[in-house]
Amino acid sequence: MSDPFLKPSRRALMRGTAAFAAAGAIGSPLVLREARAQAAFNWKRFSGTTIDVLLVKNPRSEMFQAAEKEFTELTGIKVSSEQVPEQQQRQKAVIEFASGKPSFDVSGISLHVQKRMAAKGKWFEDLNPYIKDASLTSPDFAFEDFGAGPVAYARQADGALDTLPFFVDYWMVYYNKELFDAKGVAFPKTMEEMFTAAQKLHDPAKGVAGFVSRGLKNANVPVWSCLMLGQGMEATSAAGKLQTDTPEAIWAADLYRKLNKETGPVGSVGFNWNECQTTFMQGRAAMWLDGIGFATPLEDPSKSRIVGKVGYGVTPPGPKAHHAGMFGDGIGISRGSQKKQAAWLYIQHMTNKAQQLAMLKAGAGAPARSSAYLDTATIQASKFGKQYFDCLLASAKIARAALPQIVPVTEFRDVFGVALTNMIGGSDVAAELKKATEAFAPVLAKSEQG
Amino acid sequence: MTTTTLPVERTEPAQPAPFVHSADFTPRYWLFAAPAVLVVGTVIVFPWLFTLYMSGHDWKIGGGPEFVGLQNFAELFRDARFIESMGHTLYFTVLAVVLPILFGTAAALVFHREFPFRGLLRTVFVMPMMATPVAVALVWTMMFHPQLGVLNYLLSLLGIGPQAWVYSPDTVIPTLILVEVWHWTPLVMLIVLGGLAGLPREPYESALIDGANDWHMFRHITLPLVWPFIMVAIVIRTIDALKAFDTIFVITQGGPGTASETLNIFLYLQAFQFYKIGYASAVVVIFFVIVIMLSLLLLYARQKSKWNA
């Protein structure tokens, strides 16, 4: 998963600009050809069909629902969609897919949690044949526009692309520039420096923590696994073996413990992302390691006290490697659906270039399409500023899956989450990881049977 | 002349015929019982038998069941988290019953007396009970925030340092009890207040003539007479505390770590997060046995507490 996702190098930008200028200069034959192809594509072939869609409740699903009217006007296909809170949506998906006859034709999934489960349970259609079928795929869909990283993340081990990635989340470091400047501290260049910087910035008397991150079990595991990427190691090896009690894993867990126990706020052991966000945006923490998707509320004057003071830093390199933890969502067609082709039209429309650009503009998340990041007008007009986009693009280049691609991801997060919580409470790091590894190993082995 | 007095035939007033329990299984009556049998069978008996069946299988959603006998039960009793969750359930239940009973009874005694604005204050007092548990939990979660919560702010006004509340393994269950007490003390108050309203006046008049003070009257008249109502409150609170899930899940999700993981949270994780249906069913069976035993004990205690017992 170390492939760079986006490569918006200067050369690529120039190439794009030159192509655009050339197209305009010679009477836009390319545009005309695409327009003719577009006109030839029959969006109306499934007119009158109604499809059901299961979505997770979040800003991206709001955008999908807002685009339904336009989609119906374009295709004549009616959409019946529902947004369900994340945890409940996952349960609903598991139960309905297991029944073999899900009530929905399209479903979104969290790749970092459900990818392997979806493959094992044969939840979705392989989208490769659909993408290759010119009669079903609009010429302007441009699959090659999807970043190599997100596509590789969504692709199953057997090569099947059962979901189309449409959103990626890179873990990075939010930092409070005002607090850093006040103490003359520079943004850390390494993971170890992150701890020394946090120590300098930690000021309990003023109610300021040097660092904040998730301490609540389950939610805290990505923090540790992102630090472990700094050792060039994931929680499982390529062969699927647990690497969670190795010296590298212990190093990452010890750093996690130090950051949270010695420089974290009181009670961080029970913090999920929302408590971290609240603490950081009230100016009570100098650094926060989490997903880049949380930038919107930090820059909202009605919620945040640190508008304009937020720095966006790439996760610093570890002793052996430099990666940004990657998470993401995909959308696919239920294998049990009777309206697969109409469902494919829906997916095309909801993940087209305009939708993905709109997602970036709205601050609803990082889109999977590369073209969204080449829209300089959007970047210049954004409330997030250049540093945000620099961080986003730099993180994309070093992105790597931060959670193991196994079936029992939730149980993995639970077992190791408890161990991490215990560490903040003072338990021995190596002993906790050893205990958790021994407890989880049989669960993992069993999940791969049958 | 002798007169013969004929015995007067006396007619006794008609007495209702004594009820004789007759088990008439004539098929013509089956139709009347069928709806009830159908509902009970479908809604209660079948789910229980199916749960029992599942508890004997290794069954994950998406896969087929594999019979494992009593293995799930054996594993449960080796599972440190399950044992720990039983301890948390017991700890939580005892506090979540005892404290609202004490405070609710005290509040009922207060509100039983006449004083200005009694009606208004009683209405205010019962308001927490009307709130939705999830909404209550969300509000308390914000109040417990160690840095930004109002509770630590109030403590700071008194010169007391910030507390971790639900964000520390040591204080999480007592803090959750605080929410339970706030939420459910009014229910106990209402039940006990209902009991107090129906008490006879004569024993108190006799006691006053005999020179009893307030404490004596409470200890020897009020408490014994109102005890059956307190028992009802104990039964209701015990059932509520045992099945407590929403408040705990919203506020702590069983954390920090597993510090507030009760049986219900453990069960939820096994069934709906890890999708181990067989294992979770075994938890349900054990939980059912515990609840039945406790219910029988409480019903026995309630029976003994009746005035005519």
Contact A217 B252 (CB under 8 A): no
- CATH topology for the A10-168+327-384 domain: D-Maltodextrin-Binding Protein; domain 2 (3.40.190)
Contact A425 B166 (CB under 8 A): no
Residue A111 has pLDDT above 50, yes or no: yes
- Say if domain A170-325+401-447 classifies as CATH 3.90.79.10: no
Q: For B213-242, how does the pLDDT look when each residue is reduced to its tens digit (9 = 90+)?
A: 999 999 999 999 999 999 999 999 999 999
The position carrying tokens 């049977």 is: A449
H-helix segments, A109-211:
111-120, 128-132, 148-154, 177-182, 191-201
Percent of chain A with pLDDT over 70: 91
- For the residues B246-258, what does the mean pLDDT come to? 93
Contact B148 A269 (CB under 8 A): no
pLDDT of residue A39: 55
Specify the CATH number for B79-275; select among 3.40.50.970, 1.10.3720.10, 2.60.40.10, 3.30.1300.10.
1.10.3720.10
Q: For the beta carbon of residue A423, count every other beta carbon within 10 angstroms.
A: 27
Residues of A in contact with B168 (CB under 8 A): 267, 269-270
Residue A363 Cα, gap to closest chain B Cα (Å): 26
Residues forming beta bridges with residue B39, ordered by sequence position: none
Q: What is the DSSP string of B43-84?
A: IIIHHHHHHHHHHTEE-BTTS--EE-TTHHHHHHHH-HHHHH
Minimal Cβ distance to B257: which of A97, A117, A421: A421
| Of A36-50, A59-73, A436-450, B142-156, the least confident | A36-50
Of the candidates A141, A207, A219, the one whose C-alpha atom is nearest the C-alpha of residue A179 is A207
- On the 0-12 / 13-18 / 19+ scale of CB atoms within 10 A, A153 is buried
Q: For the beta carbon of residue A358, count every other beta carbon within 10 angstroms.
A: 17
With a threshold of 0.85, tell me whether the complex ipTM lies above it. no
Gap between the Cα atoms of A211 and A187, Å rounded = 12
Same fold, A10-168+327-384 and A170-325+401-447: yes
Greater confidence (A257 vs B15) lies with A257
What band does A424 get if pLDDT is binned at 50, 70 and 90?
very high
What band does A34 get if pLDDT is binned at 50, 70 and 90?
very low
pLDDT of residue A29: 44
Domain ranges within chain B, ordered by starting residue: 79-275
Residue B234 Cα, gap to closest chain A Cα (Å): 32
Minimal Cβ distance to B257: which of A121, A411, A418: A418
Domain ranges within chain A, ordered by starting residue: 10-168+327-384, 170-325+401-447
Cβ–Cβ pairs < 8 A, chains A and B: 81
The CA-CA-CA angle for residues B11, B14, B17, to 5°, reads 135
Among A266, A406, A412, pick the best mutation site for testing chain B contact (most B Cβ within 10 A): A266
Q: In the structure encoding, which two tokens stand for residue A345, read together? A: 């039209």
Gap between the Cα atoms of A275 and A264, Å rounded = 12
- For the residues B100-124, what does the mean pLDDT come to? 95
Per-chain mean pLDDT for chain B: 89
Residue A292 has pLDDT above 60, yes or no: yes
Q: For A306-319, how does the pLDDT look when each residue is reduced to its tens digit (9 = 90+)?
A: 999 999 999 999 99
What band does B32 get if pLDDT is binned at 50, 70 and 90?
confident
pLDDT of residue A6: 43
pLDDT of residue A2: 39
pLDDT of residue B29: 82
Q: What are A's interface residues with B at a Cβ cutoff of 8 A?
A: 91, 94-95, 97-98, 117, 120-121, 207, 215-218, 265-271, 275, 278-279, 282, 284, 408, 410-411, 414, 418, 421-422, 425, 450
Residues of A in contact with B62 (CB under 8 A): 94, 97-98, 117, 120-121
